[in-house]
Amino acid sequence: MTINKDDSNPLMCDPVTGICEIPGAEGKGEINTQSINKPIKITYFSDPICSACWGVEPTLRKLKLEYGDAIDFEYHMGGLLPSWEALGTGVNPTVLASHSDQLSAHFQIPVNGDIWLQDPPHSSYPASIAFKAAQMQDEEKAISFLRKIREDLYVRGINIAKWKNLEKTAAAVGLDTDKLKTEYEGDAKKAFQEDLVLAQKMSVRGFPSFTLTNSEGATAQVYGMKPYGEFEHTLKQMDKGIQKQSVSTDWKSLFVRFNSMTTKEFADFSEVSFQQAEDILDGLAKGGEIDKLSTKNGQLWTKERL
């Protein structure tokens, strides 16, 4: 399948490289090697509306399942969309609708392009700042919040640039929304600007961008939406002694760990084919064990935590 790619539009991610690339950015800069508490630290630059970052979620989650004891993740926001006007003449949300549908089929993830026609976010900055505010409260809840706003955008078709939508999702993951709004309107803006400065310093030219640093300060980069095997190979190069954790991959254990999954994620975690995963999940949904949210481009499967 051929997917049209406009190199002047950073929101039209390249399916070959798996990158939402910032026009004109290039090179590799200085790496932050501080605060390495586990054998490997992964500095992750992302953006809430980056479709390739949504596409890399199965890989990122599997890394945490199998190597979480050995990896510290450090999340930073990249500022992919300051505003539509900032991207220049000819770049508008409508061109992303069909591109999103194509990406969904290519990467086997639900990417509903209708949001770009109906209620497109005017910028990725509000969601990025909200994430930084969430980090100030609780890192794990902030990561859950980032995951949920990606689902809101790409599965539920919700405009994540609107505070009322961000607030609702923040409450759903257990964040203090009053505190979140105070930080959102205050210190979180500074924290986001610091992320943008760090991204420039490290010459991050697109998203997702992963810089791996070992305990000796050596670094390696995995850039874009790469296969799981490439991440795993790089980890083992960085630390020869790194060991994969033994994890339970039955459906109940997986839904305890992740209360929402795409079909692709369940297939990758369970190491079954996409069709087998879909059949298993459909059966669970029909039996009332899990809930199924269907879109024109795929499903999101959820189970409320007990």
Polymer length in residues for the chain? 306
* Residues 136 and 61 both lie in one domain: yes
* Residues 158 and 282 both lie in one domain: no
* Residues 199 and 275 both lie in one domain: no
* Residues 266 and 130 both lie in one domain: no
Can you give the pTM of this predicted structure? 0.89
Q: Does residue 241 sit within a domain?
A: no
Rounded Cα–Cα distance for residues 298 and 52 (Å): 16
* Residues 119 and 256 both lie in one domain: no
Q: Does residue 199 sit within a domain?
A: yes
Q: What is the pLDDT of residues 261-283, one digit of tens each?
A: 999 999 999 999 999 999 999 99
Q: Where are the beta strands (DSSP E) in the chain?
A: 20-21, 40-46, 71-77, 206-207, 209-214, 219-223, 260-262, 291-295, 298-302
Per cent of the chain over pLDDT 90 is: 74
Look at residue 101 and give its three-state secondary structure.
Answer: helix
Can you give the residue range of the structural domain that contains 281? 251-302
| Cα dihedral sign, 43-188-142-23 | negative
**pLDDT the model gives residue 205:** 85
Q: Domains in the chain: how many in total?
A: 2
Element (H, E) at 234: helix 228-238
Q: What is the pLDDT of residues 52-109, one digit of tens each?
A: 999 999 999 999 999 999 999 999 999 999 998 888 767 788 888 878 888 888 889 9
